[in-house]
């Protein structure tokens, strides 16, 4: 920036550098978080939701992309609101609250919602099986109708809680209970699950006039959340306990008997057996260590695949017999080779993924406090490699968790790469994606917590950006597809935890990747089995064929990856992710050592790490033509009086209390455009446009501070005349 322009920008600055640690954070002033209609954050006009009718049922359209029934050749992107309420987070709202909430979701740009732990909410405090709380049932039914009236489709879990609808339990949101395991093994548990589908999905909703299972709004049923056999074993693993439940032993022995017939044949396949093990008497033991690779573990994986596929077929038949015509998925986490084979025949694939996962809220809970860009957003890449090409792909849960100070990265990385991959729905997981106000009288609403994105200004800024990058379609889908060849069971190894190698999943930063049946790939450039080549070798073939352009800037050794579209650039070692499209330019950065020119937007300088984005708001919303722009600037946010056990803020001592405080920061920006007059106005977290804090004529250059006179914020309106 020229010295004269920078000097003018400094005069317009709202704040100076923080004086010290005590001045680093500014408290949020908003109480109401309901967006004002017509505000720059109200996306209901630029992202209108179509009425949900038979024409607007969601189906698997061309090339397996989600589409409306009336236009199966036109893919639609679904931005998902994760509704995982519990009594601790307020539960399902009353009718008036549901109307307000559903309308707000539509204003924020959501067009699908995932209802999670419905079974737990219905059975909270109930002592008899299937004795649903009548008020909660009524609220759920009304909410479904309110969502539908606002053009918001539904994703519903057939089972979320490991307690199912059994009465007399007070740990329905915890890992106690064995319904998910026994659903694979026990007919009585399966009948319990069947009855649960009839009681929830098959019950007529008085507010819509039909059962959810017949409703056009129900787009996808996840048969049971995170119910893979290996994952269930890991969840229940405890010191001193065998890694696998003994109830698996008999069916595993029967499976081995069918496969090998005799102990002698099994010994040829495995090598020497342990003392006392005989196949004829059903005495073959389960593995004693899931991390000690062995032929025993390889066959246990094959057994899991066969069992899980049979369970999916059986559960799917229940829904089809009830008249369900929509999409079905299962096994929505754990991106291993084994689970990929279990997902092979599903109509749709769903996956959960997290960066810097946190297991609880208790003092002493710990995270890594690292950047996802530094590892090449591996949490995104590993689920990209779990997708089966030609099927709808839904991210049913993701988050870069609070209190990680780099979580602003998720608001750029996930929607940008989801769009590049051509994924079909994107759900950032939380109690709920929005809140109507700060200060609700519930335990999980008294402070920001992990999985509570509604109260987090940083996560909320990311969801706002996702509505533009992903749902609006600002980031294009790659026309380069790189299949990962899959043969079948022969791809299993002795390693129970084996997954696609990171040295190959980085191809997801360049083009679309996913699994494909080996016999259908023909002459396509693909990642072959067995996995020997690195991504450099595959990229060389793509460049030689002209599939990836010669000027593509990807240099694996330098940690630089450019998408085939040219719109996304990830620089691992600089800690930067850049997105430059006709409608949005954005950058997430751990550091900014020199100015970065994104095209229209130039990022000159910043006083710390963060996210900055510029998006056009006026049709056709291009940065070169718009006169109104939404500026997003996100740094970090914490709770008042939040404390840690260590100086690096990895280990939580106390989450503190409201109000939320935002880390003060600034960024120096300039645009390649000029204007007769321009001005910048802070936009509150509720969408209120406050008096301008900077204006000028001609060249557009300014210092953007997030500590405005109206209070700290992550949003600004830039207007050019």
Q: Is the peptide bond before 693 cis (omega within 30 degrees of 0)?
A: no
The predicted structure's pLDDT at residue 23: 82
Which CATH number is correct for 67-241+319-479, 3.40.630.10, 1.20.1730.10, 2.130.10.10, 3.20.20.80? 3.20.20.80
Q: pLDDT tens digits, residue range 530-549?
A: 998 899 999 999 999 999 99
Compute the average pLDDT of residues 350-357.
98
Please give the C-alpha separations between residue 620 and each of 402, 463, 534, 721, in angstroms, as whole numbers.
35, 21, 41, 17
The predicted structure's pLDDT at residue 22: 52
Q: pLDDT tens digits, residue range 539-588?
A: 999 999 999 999 999 999 999 999 999 999 999 999 999 999 999 999 99
The predicted structure's pLDDT at residue 533: 85
Enumerate residues 6+ apart whose C-beta is below 8 A from 551: none
The predicted structure's pLDDT at residue 343: 98
The predicted structure's pLDDT at residue 413: 98
Q: pLDDT tens digits, residue range 34-48?
A: 999 999 999 999 999
Reduce the DSSP state of residue 498 to 3 states and report it.
coil
Dist CA 111 CA 80 (whole Å): 6
Dist CA 614 CA 618 (whole Å): 13
Dist CA 389 CA 386 (whole Å): 9
pLDDT(6) > 60? no
pLDDT(5) > 90? no
The predicted structure's pLDDT at residue 374: 97
pTM of model > 0.75: yes
Query: In 271-383, where do the E strands start and end?
Result: 327-329, 349-355
pLDDT(361) > 90? yes
Region of residue 284 (left: phi > 0; alpha: psi -120 to 50; beta: else): beta
Domain boundaries of the chain, sorted by first residue = 67-241+319-479
The predicted structure's pLDDT at residue 21: 55
DSSP string, 381-432: HHHHTTPBTTS-EEEEEEEE-TT-TTGGGHHHHHHHHHHHHT-SEEEE-SS-
Compute the average pLDDT of residues 321-332.
98
Q: pLDDT tens digits, residue range 241-292?
A: 999 999 999 999 999 999 999 999 999 999 999 999 999 999 999 999 999 9
Percent of the chain with pLDDT over 90: 96
State how beta strands 153-157 and 715-720 pair.
Answer: unpaired
The predicted structure's pLDDT at residue 249: 98
pLDDT(13) > 90? no
Compute the average pLDDT of residues 388-411.
98
Q: pLDDT tens digits, residue range 401-446?
A: 999 999 999 999 999 999 999 999 999 999 999 999 999 999 999 9
Mean pLDDT of the chain: 95
pLDDT(2) > 90? no
Q: pLDDT tens digits, residue range 123-134?
A: 999 999 999 999
Dist CA 569 CA 588 (whole Å): 11
pLDDT(58) > 50? yes
Q: Could you tell me which residues are beta bridge partners of residue 482?
A: 513
pLDDT(3) > 60? no
């Amino acid at each position: 920036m020229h010295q004269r322009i920078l000097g003018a920008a400094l005069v317009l600055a709202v704040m100076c550098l923080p004086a010290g640690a005590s001045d680093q954070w500014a408290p949020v002033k908003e109480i109401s978080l309901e967006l004002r209609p017509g505000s720059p954050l109200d996306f209901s006009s630029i992202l209108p939701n179509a009425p949900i009718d038979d024409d607007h049922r969601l189906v698997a359209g061309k090339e397996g992309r989600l589409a409306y029934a009336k236009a199966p050749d036109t893919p639609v992107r679904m931005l998902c609101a994760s509704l995982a309420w519990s009594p601790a987070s307020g539960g399902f709202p009353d009718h008036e609250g549901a109307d307000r909430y559903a309308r707000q979701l539509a204003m924020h740009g959501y067009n699908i919602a995932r209802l999670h732990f419905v079974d737990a909410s219905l059975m909270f405090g109930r002592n008899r099986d299937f004795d649903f709380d009548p008020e909660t049932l009524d609220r759920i039914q009304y909410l479904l109708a309110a969502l539908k009236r606002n053009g918001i489709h539904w994703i519903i879990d057939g089972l979320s809680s490991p307690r199912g609808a059994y009465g007399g339990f007070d740990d329905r949101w915890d890992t106690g209970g064995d319904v998910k395991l026994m659903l694979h093994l026990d007919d009585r548990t399966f009948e319990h699950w069947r009855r649960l589908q009839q009681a929830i999905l098959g019950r007529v909703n008085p507010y819509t006039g039909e059962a959810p299972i017949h409703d056009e709004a129900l787009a996808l049923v996840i048969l049971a959340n995170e119910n893979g056999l290996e994952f269930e074993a890991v969840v229940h693993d405890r010191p001193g306990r065998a890694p696998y439940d003994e109830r698996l032993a008999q069916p595993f022995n029967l499976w081995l008997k069918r496969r090998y017939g005799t102990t002698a044949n099994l010994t040829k396949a495995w090598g020497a057996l342990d003392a006392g093990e005989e196949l004829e008497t059903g005495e073959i033991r389960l593995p004693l260590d899931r991390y000690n690779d062995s032929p025993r573990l390889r066959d246990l994986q094959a057994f899991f695949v066969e069992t899980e596929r049979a369970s999916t077929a059986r559960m799917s038949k229940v829904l089809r017999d009830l008249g369900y015509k929509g999409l079905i998925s299962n096994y929505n986490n754990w991106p291993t080779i084994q689970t990929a084979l279990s997902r092979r025949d599903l109509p749709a694939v769903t996956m959960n993924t997290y960066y810097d996962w946190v297991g609880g809220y208790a003092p002493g809970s710990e995270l890594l406090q690292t950047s996802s860009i530094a590892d090449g957003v591996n949490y995104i890449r590993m689920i990209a490699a779990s997708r089966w090409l030609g099927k709808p792909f839904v991210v049913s849960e993701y988050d870069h968790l609070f209190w990680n100070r780099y979580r602003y990265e998720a608001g750029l990385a996930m929607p940008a790469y989801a769009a590049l991959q051509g994924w079909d729905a994107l759900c950032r997981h939380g109690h709920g994606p929005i809140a109507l106000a700060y200060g609700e009288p519930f335990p999980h609403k008294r402070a920001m917590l992990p999985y509570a994105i509604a109260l987090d200004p940083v996560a909320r800024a990311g969801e706002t950006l996702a509505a533009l990058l992903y749902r609006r379609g600002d980031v294009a889908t790659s026309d380069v597809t790189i299949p990962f060849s899959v043969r079948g069971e022969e791809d299993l190894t002795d390693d129970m935890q084996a997954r696609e190698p990171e040295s190959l999943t980085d191809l997801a930063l360049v083009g679309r990747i996913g699994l494909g049946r080996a016999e259908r790939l023909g002459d396509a450039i693909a990642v072959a089995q067995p996995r020997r080549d690195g991504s450099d070798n595959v990229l060389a073939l793509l460049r030689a064929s002209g599939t990836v352009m010669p000027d593509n800037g990807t240099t694996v050794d330098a940690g630089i990856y450019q998408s085939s579209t040219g719109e996304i650039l990830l620089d691992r070692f600089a800690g930067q992710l850049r997105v430059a499209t006709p409608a949005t330019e954005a950058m997430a950065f751990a550091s900014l050592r020199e100015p970065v020119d994104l095209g229209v937007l130039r990022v000159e300088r910043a006083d710390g790490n963060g996210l900055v984005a510029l998006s056009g708001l006026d049709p056709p919303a291009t940065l070169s033509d718009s006169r109104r722009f939404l500026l997003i600037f996100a740094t970090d946010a914490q709770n008042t009086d939040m404390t840690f056990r260590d100086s690096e803020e990895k280990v939580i001592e106390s989450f503190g209390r409201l109000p939320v405080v935002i880390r003060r920061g600034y960024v120096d920006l300039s645009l390649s455009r000029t204007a007769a007059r321009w001005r910048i106005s802070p936009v509150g977290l509720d969408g209120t446009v406050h008096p301008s804090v900077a204006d000028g004529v001609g060249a557009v250059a300014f210092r953007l501070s997030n500590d405005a006179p109206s209070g700290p914020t992550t949003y600004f309106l830039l207007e050019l005349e």
